[in-house]
Structure 1
Amino acid sequence: MRFSRTKAALVAALPAAVFLATPSAADAAGPAFPAHYAAPYLQVTDADAGQMAADMNATGTKFFTLAFLTPQSGCTPVWEANGTGVGSFNSQISALQAAGGNVIPSFGGAAGGELAQTCTNTSSLTAAYANVVNTYGTTRLDFDIEGGVLDDTTSNQRRNSALAALQQQNPAVQVDYTLAVDPTGLPSKELDLLRDAKSKGVKVSVVNLMVMDFYDGQPVLTDALAAARASASQLASLYGISTSAAYAMMGLTPIAGRNDDGAQFSQSDAQQLESFAASNGVAELSFWELQDYDRATGYAYSRIFNAITGGTTPPPATGGTITGYGGKCVDVAGASTANGTTVDLYTCNGTAAQQWTSVSGTFRALGKCLDVAAAGTANGTKVQLYDCNGTGAQQWSRSGSQLINPASGKCLDATGPSSADGTPLQIWTCTGAANQSWTVH
């Protein structure tokens, strides 16, 4: 996964002599990971380590993947975006563990290389990995192997030998591999890496698929689901297990929002991916990345993906109707989830396009919010479906039977007035008329 240019600039500004924080061995390992969990990536620095606590307080997310440990030289890893060594962020991690959470330190990434490339003695490499486990009180390590690192067969074999030795020393250690994937499944080099790990006796707990940056012009969600299905078959074949067991060792990691190829992975897409993961028993949901992508949404992606932890269901899966003029239901036209879809009146039919959940002052259907187009305030401004973004254009308050958008001071209104199927909704000066009267069920 990618490395923030902003954070790269911050690291470049650090003194040449990198400060290595003094590690202190944890008294005991932090809480174990459940069978199914969300663990979003945080490109961790001193400035944003507090995002773990902020996200946990906002969404209940308690597990985080910390990126990235890369080689400074020899067998000494540093946190890539911070330039500091193992032992950094101990206070934040300990607080998270005390609250029932834990972290997955991730080695490698798209830019900085992986420790097995510079630490050429297998025993020393094993010790370096063990130091991370002991210092942070976690028994789970992630290895994001891509680009030129994937082509380095010697270091890949060395890493797998070191990890096998680590698991012999400490059988509690769980190893995850984060790998690129195509809609047709894992490419040959990624499969070769897993085959070598298997041959050396590494017990891989999760194969985390980077379902992002497909560069094929197709919707990210479509490619992600195809990649997951194809990879499940590959993992079942590689490990001699059932397809359901293959899903149980799978992780799925999209980018929260805009991909490098310009494709968008929306909050609605996240809802659908979480539903797919939950129904198929996928072990892990993650995304790139907490500080630079999800924070601005109010941690929306964390909230959606955390539904898989403990097997809970996202709130939009339940809801009720909103009825109005002529007894018709507030309806998402064509049951479309595209941003800008008209919200209209339609004969009540019990479909998901007419199920609305009230969440923090918003009304949500199909994973998106009831929205005043372009945050308009003029009479006649269209009401539509749009990605939830926390703005005033998506806030609604009840006053008697009226639904008022406080940002505009206008009421939800059936145009015309008409009760015909397909009548679009708008905002209009509140008049108390029947076409502005709504019942939320």
Structure 2
Amino acid sequence: MVGRLDLLPSAGRRRPSHHRRDGIGGRQPGPGFPAHYSAPYAEMWNDPSTLMNAYNATGNKYYTLAFVISQGTCNATINGDTPVTDSGWNNAINSLRAAGGDVIASFGGASGSELASCGTVAAMQAQYKKVIDQFNLTRVDLDIEGGTLDNTAANDRRNQALANLQQDYAAQGKKLDVDYTLPVSPNGLESNGVALLQNAKSHNLNVNLVNIMTMDYGPAMDMGQAAISAANGLHSQLGQIWNTKTSAQLWAMEGNCPMIGVNDTSAEVFTVQDAQELESFAAANGIQELTFWALSRDNQGSSGTAQSDHQFTNIFKAITGGGSTPPPTGGTTPIHGYGGKCVDVAGANSANGTPVTLYTCNGTNAQQWTHSGNTLGALGKCLDVTAAGTANGTKVQLYDCNGTNAQAWTTGSNGSLVNTGSGKCLDDTDWSTADGNQLQIWTCTGSANQSWTLG
């Protein structure tokens, strides 16, 4: 027997109808994700306030929203009964992003109907796009298990649709990471999970990570060690599919998702000690993501094991250090660019998403930048490529420091500043010297509009 993530709540625990309001949606872009993070599954049949309640209680900034499903029709909805325009969840996402966090939308689950009912690649692609655009996502999770995992025709359509979307978003300067959540035994993936990933590779789908459900194996066992054993097995399997990646890159493709406390098989209990062992193993090996099923279980009354409230969240968040990257510290300096003008935070506004522009040098704090390691910061925040985009023309902004490659900059030739995430250079758009011209990233050319001087 292999793990599963349950979709539906207990009888009588449907989400309150007063939250079914249509809204403008989660248009505020998120900051993206650090190289290593914890993103517990938050059940979307519960009240949307659970998202910020968890953040306020723990400081953990990243969550996986469970689930977006179709319930047998080619129409993606929250929990199978609520439009994705629901203002309650969109507002909750915006609140978390305003605090420097972000979300992953998970499609599928054990009990719900994933978009396998969409009979064509185009129809499936349109439904994924509807959700991605509504929530302004840079990362999605596909929880494929049970009969859905054996539907090879639907798996092929899904991989084609997601690969198409990755290409379309990249052309717009946007990023779409695709995660797969799959069942395992203590030895690794079953053959149908391996086949799904092989198919993904055949369609040139860039799989960000494979998150394994380390739960519900059947007999009693040490659940912490079983999760570690499954992770080791997955590492070998990923290496057989992506055989040009290094060992470190393969570990960075892994996620691990236990069911905290008593599993569906009551003899299996994932304890806080198991969580500590798994977090230590993940941190030591460079595993990208830790998550668990599920947020509402993270208390002694629900998990069935000895714990304090939010203890599993607090253990797993250690893989990211429990919060965002602090802003760079040290002395400040202006950054001079094309036409003798300075890199400037528009209007001296420290709000997330404020454009970073070229402006007449004036010595104000909006033009004082701190260079620490590979980050550049002003007004307590970091120089950031919008939505971790990689396409030419992606604009540059100010955003909460989060340690992602969208905020990593190195010094290149001819005074260039090269963004690590895209490999492209900070660029004065259209060679303009007009005050307020927003900067962008562009293929490095060594030209004068990509030359910058600190100081």
Q: TM-score, normalised by structure 2?
A: 0.63
Residue number in structure 2 paired with 1:3: 6
- Residue 26 and residue 186 in structure 1: after superposition, are their counterparts in 2 closer, same or farther (change >3 A)? same
Residue number in structure 2 paired with 1:286: 291
User: What SS does the aligned partner of 1:85 have?
Assistant: coil
Task: Show CA shifts across 1:248-287 (max 9, x none).
Answer: 0100000111111221111111011100000000000000
Q: Distance in 2 between matches of 1:108 and 1:152?
A: 13
Q: CA deviation at 1:185?
A: 1.3
Task: Show CA shifts across 1:8-33 (max 9, x none).
Answer: 54449989xxx975463654521111
Q: Distance in 2 between matches of 1:305 and 1:113?
A: 29
Aligned length: 306
AA aligned opposite 2:162: L
Show structure 1 runs of 5+ residues with no match: 313-441
Q: Distance in 1 between matches of 2:16 and 2:90?
A: 23
Q: CA deviation at 1:293?
A: 3.7
Q: Distance in 2 between matches of 1:165 and 1:20?
A: 31
Q: Which of 296, 308, 311 pairs up with 2:319?
A: 308
Residue number in structure 1 paired with 2:193: 190
Q: CA deviation at 1:245?
A: 1.2
Residue number in structure 2 paired with 1:230: 233
Q: Distance in 2 between matches of 1:97 and 1:309?
A: 17
Matches within 5 A, 1:337-416: none
Residue number in structure 2 paired with 1:399: none
Residue number in structure 2 paired with 1:257: 261
Q: CA deviation at 1:161?
A: 0.7
- Residue 21 and residue 133 in structure 1: after superposition, are their counterparts in 2 closer, same or farther (change >3 A)? farther
Q: Determine which structure has greater relative contact order: mean sequence separation of CA pairs < 8 Å that are 6+ residues apart, divided by chain length.
A: 2
Residue number in structure 2 paired with 1:201: 204
Q: Distance in 2 between matches of 1:97 and 1:294?
A: 25
Q: CA deviation at 1:79?
A: 1.8
Show structure 2 runs of 5+ residues with no match: 302-307, 324-455
Q: Distance in 1 between matches of 2:106 and 2:160?
A: 18
Q: CA deviation at 1:295?
A: 7.7
User: What SS does the aligned partner of 1:76 have?
Assistant: coil
User: What SS does the aligned partner of 1:190 have?
Assistant: helix
Q: Distance in 2 between matches of 1:13 and 1:91?
A: 16
Residue number in structure 1 paired with 2:127: 128
AA aligned opposite 1:129: Y
Q: TM-score, normalised by structure 1?
A: 0.65
Q: Distance in 2 between matches of 1:122 and 1:8?
A: 35
Deviates more, 1:214-223 or 1:163-172: 214-223
Q: Distance in 2 between matches of 1:183 and 1:308?
A: 22
Deviates more, 1:303-312 or 1:239-248: 303-312
Residue number in structure 2 paired with 1:404: none
Task: Show CA shifts across 1:11-65 (max 9, x none).
Answer: 49989xxx975463654521111110000001113x4321221211121111100
Q: Distance in 1 between matches of 2:82 and 2:300?
A: 24
Task: Show CA shifts across 1:391-418 (max 9, x none).
Answer: xxxxxxxxxxxxxxxxxxxxxxxxxxxx
- Residue 23 and residue 153 in structure 1: after superposition, are their counterparts in 2 closer, same or farther (change >3 A)? farther
| Displaced runs of 4 or more, over 6 A | 12-15
Q: Distance in 2 between matches of 1:2 and 1:311?
A: 25
Q: CA deviation at 1:209?
A: 0.6
Q: Distance in 1 between matches of 2:316 and 2:297?
A: 17
Q: Distance in 2 between matches of 1:8 and 1:134?
A: 32
Identity rate, percent: 41
Q: CA deviation at 1:74?
A: 3.4
Residue number in structure 2 paired with 1:390: none
Residue number in structure 1 paired with 2:156: 157
Task: Show CA shifts across 1:348-400 (max 9, x none).
Answer: xxxxxxxxxxxxxxxxxxxxxxxxxxxxxxxxxxxxxxxxxxxxxxxxxxxxx
